Amino acid sequence: MTYFPVIRMHDSLRVGKPGGVGQIRRVERAPERCRPGFSPYNARMLSLVFGTIAFFVASYFIKRYLDEIGIPKTLVRGLVVFVLALVAAYGVAFIVDRVAGLAG
C-alpha cells in the first residue's frame, strides 16, 4: 500500500479564493480601443462636458428667441425651453460619442 502524506492546508488555499495557490489567473486582453492616449472614460467625460455646455447655450438662445417674438414667461414656456435645450444637449452628446468612437 502506498502512503501519501496528508498536507493540511488553510481553507483559502483549498477553496481557491482570490490570491490562493489553487487560483487560476485569467489573462485578459485589453480591448482594442484601450490603447495609450484613448480611454472610454475620457470619451464619456467629453460627451458629458459638451452636452452640459450645449444645454446652457441652447437654453440661452431659445429664451432670447422667445423673448423676441413676445411669448409671455409662463410654466409652459419654461418647459418648452427645457425640453428643446435637453434635445440639443442629447444631440451634441450623441455626436461627440460618435466622433470619439470613430477616432478611437
Q: What is the pTM of this model?
A: 0.60
CA separation for the pair 84, 103 (Å, rounded):
29
The more confident residue out of 9 and 90 is: 90
DSSP 9: -
Grid coordinates given for 51:
452636452
pLDDT at 43: 74
Chain segment 68-101, per-residue pLDDT in tens? 999 999 999 999 999 999 999 999 999 998 888 7
CA separation for the pair 23, 13 (Å, rounded):
8
The helix, strand and coil proportions of the chain, stated in percent and rounded to the nearest 5, come to: 60, 0, 40
The more confident residue out of 25 and 40 is: 40
Q: Say yes or no to pLDDT of 46 above 70.
A: yes
Q: Mean per-residue pLDDT for 4-16?
A: 57
Grid coordinates given for 104:
478611437
